[in-house]
Amino acid sequence: MKAVLDTNIYVDFAEGKADVVDLVATRSTEILLPSIVLGELLYGFMKGSRSKYNEEKLHDFITSLGVIILTVGEEVARKYAIIFSGLMKKGRPAPIY
């Protein structure tokens, strides 16, 4: 099973939440981390008092589990537009920061 992580899932994994650790580390065949999520995590680390520790922990996570960083290209942007449009039509827009 492919697992595409968002910021919350990585934080839960890093905190050792058993169900998330099991899902990500033992039941996933591929772990994908969008570059946007990577940026959100790094930004959060920069705001905290343990940025170096958190960055090292993230680096270890990426290397030890062979996490693939997904880049944002035309295909991803198009899928985002389709999803965002669908949410707008339902009256549930995705937050943009």
**Residue whose entry in the numeric block shows the structure tokens 């996933």:** 28
Residue 97 inside a domain? The answer is no
Which CATH number characterizes residue 32's domain? 3.40.50.1010
From the list 37, 77, 79, the residue with the least C-alpha distance to 61 is 37
Residue 25 inside a domain? The answer is yes
H or E element that contains 68 = strand 68-70
Q: What is the pLDDT of residues 22-38, one digit of tens each?
A: 999 888 899 999 998 99
Number of structural domains in the chain: 1
DSSP 17-54: -HHHHIIIIIS-SEEEEEHHHHHHHHHHHHHSS-HHHH
**Residue whose entry in the numeric block shows the structure tokens 């290209």:** 73
CA–chain centroid gap for 81, Å, is: 19
Q: What is the pLDDT of residues 42-90, one digit of tens each?
A: 999 999 999 999 999 999 999 999 999 998 888 878 887 888 888 888 8
Q: What domain range is 16 assigned to?
A: 2-71
* Strand-pair partners of 18: none
Is the pLDDT reported for residue 17 higher than 80?
yes
Tell me the pLDDT band of 12, cut-offs 50, 70 and 90: very high
| Amino acid identity, position 87 | L
